């Protein structure tokens, strides 16, 4: 019988949120201070969806295009709506989902609220190592 390991068991429960109107410079500062590679972009209201901004978004959409981080807002470069995973999802399915949709990081949801964040590092170092 295969051991089942859930996303909630391997996710990082510490994650950073930012407002979409924040500048990329502010996002970089928050990422640096929080040692994060991703920021969850908060909803504007209850009918909105979460977004996400990754270091790769900043590199591709700001640095590579020679845009000044003080003049670009997070909402201009974020991905929204963010693809999220359910806390009870098996880590093997999460890994397959990442591969199928080209994801590297995703918020973890429980009852519609973000409770953590999962990425390949957590899937491999915490998930795969625990399974075998």
pLDDT tens, residue by residue, 94-122: 999 999 999 999 999 999 899 999 999 99
Q: Burial of 11 by CB count in 10 Å (0-12 exposed, 13-18 middle, 19+ buried)? A: buried
CATH topology of domain 7-131: CBS-domain (3.10.580)
User: What are the pLDDT digits (tens) for 30-72?
Assistant: 999 999 989 999 999 999 999 999 999 999 999 999 999 999 9
Q: With 80 as the cut, is the pLDDT of residue 132 above it?
A: no
3-state SS, one letter per residue, for 75-127:
HHHCECCCCCEECCCEHHHHHHHHHHHCCCEEEEEECCEEEEEEEHHHHHHHH
What is the domain partition of the chain in residue ranges?
7-131
What is the pLDDT, as a whole number, of residue 69? 97
């Amino acid at each position: 019988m295969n051991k089942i390991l859930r996303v909630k068991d391997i996710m990082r429960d510490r994650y950073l949120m930012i407002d979409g109107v924040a500048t990329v410079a502010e996002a970089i500062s928050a990422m640096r201070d929080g040692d994060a590679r991703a920021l969850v972009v908060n909803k504007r209201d209850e009918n909105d969806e979460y977004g996400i901004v990754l270091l790769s978004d900043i590199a591709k959409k700001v640095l590579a295009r020679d845009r000044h981080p003080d003049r670009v807002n997070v909402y201009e470069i974020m991905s929204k709506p963010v693809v999220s995973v359910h806390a009870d999802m098996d880590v093997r399915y999460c890994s397959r989902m990442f591969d199928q949709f080209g994801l590297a990081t995703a918020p973890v949801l429980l009852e519609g609220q973000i409770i953590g964040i999962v990425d390949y590092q957590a899937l491999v170092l915490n998930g795969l190592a625990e399974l075998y």
